[in-house]
Chains A and B, each alone.
Chain A
Amino acid sequence: MTLLDVRNLRVTFQTETGPVQAVRGVSFSLGRERLGIVGESGSGKTITGRAVLRLIRPPGRVEADAMVFDGQDLLHATDREMRALRGKRIGMVMQDPKYSLNPVMTVGRQLTEGLRLRDGLGRADAGAKARAALEAVQIRDPDRVMDAYPHELSGGMGQRVMIAMMLIPEPDLLIADEPTSALDVTVQAEVLSILDALVRDRGMGLIFISHDLRLVARFCDRVLVMYKGRIVEEIAARDLMAARHPYTQGLLNCLPRIGGPRTPLPGLDRSGAWASGGAP
C-alpha cells in the first residue's frame, strides 16, 4: 500500500543571483517501510524531507506533478489542513534536539501540551500517555525526565524525547532527518532499534535522511542516493555496499576502514556524466 507518493518534486530558491534549484525532479513512493535518503550536504535530501511537510518558506518554492499522502493532495492542501497533518499524521525528528525542544519548558509540559490542547485530554490522562511514550523509547525513569528541562538531558536522551514527542499522536509517517548523527555509536544503536520496532509494530512509514551510507545500509529497506538535487540511484539497502553507480561507489570507497592500507584514501571522482547534471 502506498502511503506517500511524490512525482517530479522540484524546490527552487529565489536568490539575489537568480533562482537556485535545490531539488530537481525527485520521484519516489513509500509504503509502510523504511526508506533511506542519503547524500552529501547540499544534495537536497533535507529539503526533500521538508518539502513533503510543506515546511519550505518563501523565497523557496515547491512544485511537483503530484505529492499525495494517503489519498490527500499535499500540494493543494490549505495551511490549516497541513497543520492538521503535521505532527498528527506526519511527524518529523530533527538532527539536534537542542534546537527542537523549548528550553524554558519542562519536557513533561511539552509532551502533554499537544494532548491537552488538541485532544482535550485531562492533566492526568495526558501525563499517563506521555509517560507511556517515554517508556516506549526506552527511557527508564520517565518521571524524572518529565520534570527535567531540555538542557538537563544528554544528547541521546533529548533525541529520545523528541522521538517520543513525535510518536504520541501515533503518526502514519515519520520523517527523521539525521536523527542519530549527534549521538554516540552505542546510543545510536538504541535509538535505531526503537525506530525499527515502531515501523514493525505500528506499521509506520519512515523516511530516514542521513549522510551515513553504512548506517542506512544496515537500517533501511530501500535507499535513494541523492546528488545535487537528483536521485542518482535507487537500490535495496542490502545491495548498497555493492552499488553500481559511480557516485555511490565513490562515496563508499573514500571511507577509511579499520585495518585498511595507509595509502591516501581515494577521492570522489566527479567527472562522470552523472555529476554534470544529466539524468542518471
Chain B
Amino acid sequence: MSLIEVENLSVTFRAKGREVRAVEGVSLTVAARESYGLVGESGSGKSTILRAICGMAPVTGGRIRIGGQVLPTPRGRAFSAQVQMVFQDPYASLHPRHTIDRTLSEPLAIHGVAGSDARVVQALTDVGLPPSFRFRYPHQLSGGQRQRVAIARALMLQPAILLLDEPTSALDASVQAEVLNLLDGLRRDRGLTFLMVSHDLAVIDHMCDRLLVMQHGRAVEELARDDLAAARMATPYARSLFAASADRMLEPAGGATE
C-alpha cells in the first residue's frame, strides 16, 4: 500500500480578487521507503504540493492521504510525528534568537518527550555535527551546518516521511554532496520515505527512484530513474528540461577525461 497518496490535488491562492491556480489536478503516490522527486521550474507548483501536504496551502480540491488516512485540518500532533519538512533556505529556517539546543529540544517539549538532553546530543551526532555546537546560535554556523541542524530538527520526532524542499539549492557544490550523502544515509538507516523537490535534475536523479515533471501547476510526466538516464520521455516539455540539463549528464558532451 502507498504511504503517501495525493489524488487530483488543486491549490488556489486568492489575493486582491485575483485567483492563482498554483496546483491543478495533480495525483501521485509514494510507497513506503521510496524516494520520489518533483521537478519543474519556478512557479510549477512543486513546492506548493509539499506545503499543501503540511496544511500550509489552501487546498481547493482533491484528497491527500497518509497511510490510508485522510489528513485532518488542522493537521495536529499525530501528523507532526509522522511527517516533517526540510526547507530550502537554511538561513531562514532556523530561529535566529534560539540556540541549536533550543531549536532541537522544542519539538520534544511540544510532544512531551522525556530525556531531551541525551536526544539532542544524539541528534547532532547523527547528522555529523560535534556536540559542542549545541549551544551555538545559527549565525555562528555555515550554510551546510545549518542545513544539518534543520535535518536534525526534522528527525527529532522520528517521522516516517521527510518532505525536502530544495534542501541543497542554497549550498555550495561540495556541501551539497555532503548533505545529499547524509540524507541518503539517513533514509537507508531509518527506512524513511522522501518526497523531494528540486529544480536540478541531477540531484533528483541521484536521490530519487521515481520523479514527476511539473509545469504551470500541472503534472507533465512521471518517469522512473532509468527512463530519465536513458532519455525515454514522452512529452516535449520533459524532453526540453532534460536537454537544458545536458551538462549534468554522466558524460558531458565535451567529453571529460578521467
Contacts and interface: CB of A to CB of B under 8 A. Distances in A.
Interface of A: 40-41, 154-155, 184-187, 189, 211, 213-215, 217-218, 238, 241-242, 250-252, 254-260, 262, 264-268
Contacts of B254: 217, 238, 241
B143 interface: yes
Contacts of B241: 185
B24 interface: no
B202 A256 contact: yes
Nearest to A39: B172
Interface string B170-207: 00111111101100110000000000000101110111
A180 to B, nearest CB: 12
B113 interface: no
Given A185-B199, A257-B205, 13 more contacts: A40-B173, A238-B254, A241-B256, A252-B256, A254-B173, A256-B203, A256-B205, A258-B201, A258-B202, A258-B205, A258-B228, A258-B250, A268-B174
Interface string B81-107: 000000000000000000000000000
A242 B185 contact: no
B211 to A, nearest CB: 11
B249 A259 contact: yes
Nearest to A182: B42
B181 A258 contact: no
A213 B228 contact: no
Nearest to A240: B254
A184 B42 contact: yes
Contacts of B249: 257-259
A260 B245 CA distance: 14
Q: Which of A184, A238, A250 has most B Cβ within 10 Å?
A: A184
Contact of A241 (B43, B178, B252): B252
The binding surface of chain B is classed by DSSP as helix
Contacts of A257: 202, 205-206, 248-250
B240 interface: yes
B257 interface: yes
Contacts of A242: 256-257
23 contacts: A213-B173, A217-B254, A218-B247, A250-B174, A251-B173, A252-B256, A254-B177, A255-B202, A255-B248, A256-B202, A256-B205, A256-B207, A258-B202, A258-B245, A258-B249, A258-B250, A260-B205, A260-B206, A262-B206, A264-B181, A265-B177, A267-B177, A267-B178
Contacts of A186: 41, 240, 244
B31 interface: no
Contact of A255 (B173, B184, B228, B230): B173
B229 interface: yes
B42 to A, nearest CB: 6
6 A-B pairs with least C-beta separation: A259-B229, A256-B206, A268-B174, A254-B177, A184-B41, A265-B177
Interface in B10-25: none
Contacts of A238: 254
A264 B248 CA distance: 17
A262 B41 CA distance: 25
Nearest to A260: B250
A156 to B, nearest CB: 9
Given A242-B256, A255-B248, A262-B206, A211 B172 contact: yes
Nearest to A255: B173
Q: Which of A187, A251, A259 has most B Cβ within 10 Å?
A: A259
Interface string B230-258: 10000000001100110111101010110
A215 B248 CA distance: 10
A186 B201 CA distance: 13
B184 A258 contact: no
Contacts of A254: 173-174, 176-177
A37 to B, nearest CB: 15
A41 B172 contact: yes
A264 B185 contact: yes
A40 B250 contact: no
Nearest to B44: A184
Contact of A267 (B174, B205, B240, B244): B174
Interface string B209-242: 0000000000000000000111000000000110
Given A189-B244, A265-B181, A40 B174 contact: yes
B174 A256 contact: no
A36 to B, nearest CB: 14
A233 B2 CA distance: 50
Q: Which of B202, B229, B257 has most A Cβ within 10 Å?
A: B202
A272 to B, nearest CB: 14
A258 B229 contact: yes
Contacts of B256: 241-242, 252
